[in-house]
Structure 1
Amino acid sequence: MPDHRPQAPVPVPLSGTVSRADDHAFVQRLIRTLDPAHPAPDRLAADLLARFGSAGMMLSAHVGALDEVAGRGTVMPPLLAVAREAALRLYRGRVRRTDVLSGQAGLEAYLQACMGHEVIEQFRVLFLDEGFHLLADELMGTGTVNHSPVYPREIMRRALRLGAARLVLAHNHPAGRAEPSGADIEMTLRIAQLGRLMRVEVHDHIIVGNGRTLSFRAAGLLG
C-alpha cells in the first residue's frame, strides 16, 4: 500500500553543485507530491535520472520523452510539464532581475530549460536594454529537426519597436551537438552586420544542445 503520510522536505541547494543523491531525493519527493498513489517513486526517480541525467534536464524534457519513461496514460508527464512551466517562470524572473553579463550561467541554464529537449529547431531572441536587462524573450522562428527560418529584418524591426540596444540570439540543435554549422555562423554575422547599421549590438548567440551550450562570444565567433 502506498505511504500517504506527509514527507519531510528535501533540502535542495540553491547554488553550487547538486549531487546525484540530492537530485534523486528531489525527484522522488516531486513524484510523491504530484502522484501520491504512485507504487514505486524511488524506482521511477532512478529511471528518470538515468534517462535525462539530472533533475533540471528532466524538468526541461519534452512530454513525449517523459512518456517513454513514466509510461503513457500516467499522470506524471502532464504534471511534470506544469512543474517545468513553473521552473521556466522562475528562471525568467531571475534573468529579468540580473544583467546578462553577471548572469551568463543562469542565462544558459534558462535557455537549456526552454529549448534543450525540443524535438524541432527553434530560434529565440532575447532583447536587452543598455544595462543588459531583459526587455523581452521571443520565439522568432520554428522549423524542422535541423532548420528554423530566420529573418534578420524582422528581428531588427522588433528590436527597434522594443527600444532594445542589444540582442542575445539562441537556437537549439535537437540532435544534441552544440557546435555551430557554417550556416549558423554566416547567419549570425549577417544579423550582427545589420544590427551595426541599426545601432543594435548582437551581444551573443547561444546554441543549445542536449545538456550542452556554446556561446559565440566565448568562442570568438562574432567577428
Structure 2
Amino acid sequence: MTRSSPPHDGDQPTMEEEANERGFFADQPARSGSLKRSGVLSGDDKQAHYHGHRDRLRARYRDHGDTALADYEILELLLFRLIPRRDTKPIAKALIERFGNLAGVFGAQSARLQEVPGVGETVALDLKLIATVGHRMLKSELRGKQVLSSWSSVIDYCHAAMAYESREQFRVLFLDKRNALIADEVQGMGTVDHTPVYPREVVRRALELSATAIILVHNHPSGDPTPSRADIDMTKTIIETAKPLGITVHDHIIIGKEGHASLKGLRLV
C-alpha cells in the first residue's frame, strides 16, 4: 500500500514537493549573462524578485479585487501558500496553459495535475480540496430551496461537479413534494462515452428517499452536451417506469465543458 504525503501547515514544503520543484527550476536557464532575460535570478536577487512580486500582486488584489488580475495571477496568489519558497508564476501559467482555464485546473484529476512540473501530490490534493469547497458552496445554495425556481444554481452546481470529469457520470437529484433537494447521488460511473443506467434502480432509490420528483444529470467528457439517441431513449424509459409510482422526472440535463443541454428544453421528452 502506498502511503500518501501527510498534510502540512503551508510553511514547510514536503520532501516530494522540494524534489519536484528542484527538478522544475533546475531546467530553467542559469547562465549569469541571461539571468534577467530568462526571469530566473539566483541568491538574494532571486529572493527579492519573487517576494517583491508576491507583495505587489497581493496589493493589487487587496486594492482592486479579482477584476484586476488575470486567471493565472489568481492561481498564483493561491500557490503562494501551497508552495511558499518558490516563484509560482511559471507553475500557474503552466497549469492554465495545460488545462485551459481556472475551471479546467480545479476540475482536473489529481494525477493529471501532478504531470505539470512543480506540482507535487500535496499541492494537487490541496487544489482538489479547494475545488470541493467550491462544489459544496454551490450545493448549499440548493438546500431548502425549490430547485425549479433556482434553475441557474442547479446548472452551476452540476457544471462545477461534472463538466471536467474524464468519464461519464450519471447523477440523480431527488426532490420532495415542494421540489426541494432531498439528496444528490451519483448512480453510476462509466467510460468516456457510456454509463450503464438501470431505470428500476433509479426509481427504487427515489422510493427509499420518499422523493416525489427527480432530475437526471450526466456529463459528456467530449465537451459537447448534445444528447444522443441512447440518452433520449433511456430518459423515456425512466419516465415510464417512474410515472405509475407517482414520481415525476422534471428533466434530464447533459453537462459538457462547452455548456449544457436540457432534454425538456429541447422538447425531446
Question: Could you tell me the TM-score, scaled by structure 2's length?
Answer: 0.71
1:138 partner letter = E
The structure where helix makes up a greater share of residues is 2
CA deviations 1:68-89 (Å, max 9, x no partner) are: 4455536432210111111111
Give the Cα–Cα distance (whole angstroms) in 2 for the partners of residues 25 and 177 of structure 1: 29
Q: 1:74 to 1:180 in 2, by over 3 A?
A: same
Range 66-75 or range 79-88, more displaced: 66-75
User: What is the Cα deviation at residue 137 of structure 1?
Assistant: 0.6
Q: Which of these two proteins has the greater Rg computed from alpha carbons?
A: 2
Map residues 1-223 of structure 1 onto 2, 5 A cutoff.
1=47, 2-3=50-51, 7-8=58-59, 11-12=65-66, 21=69, 23-39=71-87, 41-69=88-116, 71=118, 73=120, 75-222=122-269
Give the Cα–Cα distance (whole angstroms) in 1 for the partners of residues 152 and 117 of structure 2: 30
Give the Cα–Cα distance (whole angstroms) in 1 for the partners of residues 139 and 148 of structure 2: 15
CA deviations 1:82-105 (Å, max 9, x no partner) are: 111111111111121432222222
Asked whether the equivalents of residues 61 and 116 of structure 1 are also in contact (C-alpha less than 8 Å), the reply is no
Q: 1:89 to 1:143 in 2, by over 3 A?
A: same
User: What is the Cα deviation at residue 20 of structure 1?
Assistant: 8.9
Q: How many residues align?
A: 215
Asked whether the equivalents of residues 141 and 150 of structure 1 are also in contact (C-alpha less than 8 Å), the reply is yes
User: What is the Cα deviation at residue 49 of structure 1?
Assistant: 3.3
Displaced runs of 4 or more, over 4 A: none
Structure 1 residues without counterparts, runs of 5 or longer: 13-18
* RMSD across aligned positions (CA): 2.4
User: What is the Cα deviation at residue 25 of structure 1?
Assistant: 4.0
Indicate the residue corresponding to 1:15 in structure 2: none
CA deviations 1:87-134 (Å, max 9, x no partner) are: 111111112143222222221121112111111111110101122211
- Secondary structure at the aligned position of 1:218 is classed as coil
- Secondary structure at the aligned position of 1:194 is classed as helix
Indicate the residue corresponding to 2:8 in structure 1: none
1:31 partner letter = L
Q: 1:82 to 1:142 in 2, by over 3 A?
A: same
Give the Cα–Cα distance (whole angstroms) in 2 for the partners of residues 34 and 95 of structure 1: 31
Asked whether the equivalents of residues 132 and 166 of structure 1 are also in contact (C-alpha less than 8 Å), the reply is yes
* Matched-pair identity in %: 37
